[in-house]
Amino acid sequence: MNAANTLRARLKQPGLITAPGIYDMISARIAERMGFPALYMTGFGVVASYLGLPDAGLATYTDMVGRVGQICGIAKTPLIADADTGYGGLLNVARTVQGYIAAGAAAIQIEDQEFPKKCGHTPGRRVVPPEDMVKKIRVAVEARGDHGILIIARTDARTGYGLDEALRRGEAYAKAGADILFIESPESEQEMERICASFDLPLLANMVEGGKTPVLSAQRLGELGYRIAIFPATGFLAAGAALESVYQTLRHDGSSVNAVTPLYPFADFAKLMDFEQVWEFERRHAD
- What's the pLDDT at 169? 98
Does a structural domain hold residue 192? yes
Confidence at 114, pLDDT banded by 50, 70, 90: confident
Confidence at 8, pLDDT banded by 50, 70, 90: very high
Compute the average pLDDT of residues 31-40. 97
Domain hosting residue 121, numbered range: 3-239
CATH at residue 194: 3.20.20.60
Confidence at 198, pLDDT banded by 50, 70, 90: very high
Does a structural domain hold residue 274? no
User: CA 178: distance to chain centroid?
Assistant: 17
Confidence at 261, pLDDT banded by 50, 70, 90: very high
pTM of the model: 0.94
Does a structural domain hold residue 254? no
**Longest CA pairwise span in the chain (Å):** 71
Q: Express each pLDDT in 234-245 by its tens digit.
A: 999 999 999 999
CA distance 86 to 121: 19
**Which residues, 6+ apart, have CB-to-CB distance to 161 below 8 Å?**
127
Does a structural domain hold residue 49? yes
Number of domains forming the structure of the chain: 1
Does a structural domain hold residue 224? yes
Does a structural domain hold residue 133? yes
Alpha carbon distances (Å) from 249 to 26, 239, 258, 263: 23, 16, 7, 13
Confidence at 119, pLDDT banded by 50, 70, 90: low
| Identity at 184, one-letter amino acid code | E
- What's the pLDDT at 138? 98
Does a structural domain hold residue 123? yes
Does a structural domain hold residue 180? yes
